Amino acid sequence: MLRCPKCGKPLSKEEKRYFCEEGHSYDIAKEGYVNLMLVNQKHSKNPGDNDESLAARRAFLGKGYYQPLAEHLARTVQELIPEKGTFLDRGCGTGYYLNHLTENVEKDIQYYAVDIARKGVAMTAKKNKKAVCFVGSVFHLPLGEESLDGLMSVFTPYSRQEFSRVVKPGGYVIAVTPGKDHLYQLKDIVYDSIYLNEEKGYDLPDFRLVKKENVTYEKTLECREDIETLWRMTPYYHTTYSGNNDRLKRYDSLTTVIDFLVSVYRKEL
């Protein structure tokens, strides 16, 4: 299943390392993950979310604000992925959604988790002993050809080529993107002129869209820290003038619409 990122040969596992027949070896960290990211795949020394951001995200998600999405993903995996199947959390972050799957899906599935952020993968591996966790590029997955029955990609840039390469014929891609009303009330405070999101799925030539559903609900953010953390988790934060971002600091609690678009694609046989 796992492939050597240097030569592409299959990886075998010993107690404390993965290795291939060409002699390349990758140590398993104490948390239980393996680093399969090559230096030339990094764009910085420590790519991905920093430690502070990951800790804030884990605390925020732990309060259940996005639990309806996690429950929806678990139902979808339960329905689509076969017994003894293989499933990848592509861009696992802190492992929140993966943990919900392994705790609630009533099938024997081999889970894999990948992220570019080493600290995020360490968090995931430490909490989730049912998944094979590895650091790697989501655009150069160290996985075999047509080795997955499915994968999920939650707010993560996608790759047509990699999805076609690693997903089996008849397998699934579960994509989560912002719905049109996502965080409407927060944007109404930050922006002078409010707008709705354009709902965008994935353009996957080798796949067919088989299901598209919105997970939409209202939630009250209970403190200023949660409001700020949620806003920082979005791409809006990094593209908005800092003075506008500061407008949210006036609020100790805030009720907003949370709206996710969940699109399911099936690879053609």
Residue 263 confidence (pLDDT): 98
Q: Of 92-106, 188-202, 207-221, 248-262, which gets the smallest average pLDDT?
A: 188-202
Q: What is the CATH number of domain 12-267?
A: 3.40.50.150
Apex 159 CA angle, 154 and 160, nearest 5: 120
Structure tokens at 39: 């230096």
Residue 46 confidence (pLDDT): 64
Quick one: average pLDDT of 50-74?
Answer: 93
Quick one: average pLDDT of 86-112?
Answer: 98
Q: Which residues does 262 contact at the CB level (< 8 Å), separation at least 6?
A: 69, 72, 73, 76, 174, 175, 176, 211, 212, 213, 214, 215
**Beta carbons within 10 angstroms of residue 21's beta carbon:** 11
Residue 219 confidence (pLDDT): 97
Distance (Å) of CA 90 to CA 86, 167, 192, 195, 259: 13, 12, 35, 29, 21
pLDDT grade, residue 182 (50/70/90)? very high
- Mean pLDDT rounded to a whole number for the chain: 93
Residue 47 confidence (pLDDT): 63
pLDDT tens-digit readout, 217-236:
999 999 999 999 998 888 77
What 3-state class would DSSP assign to 256?
strand
Q: Please determine, for residue 241, whether its predicted confidence score (pLDDT) is greater than 90.
A: no
Residue 40 confidence (pLDDT): 65
Question: What does the domain layout of the chain look like in residue ranges?
Answer: 12-267
CB 206 within 8 A of CB 168: no
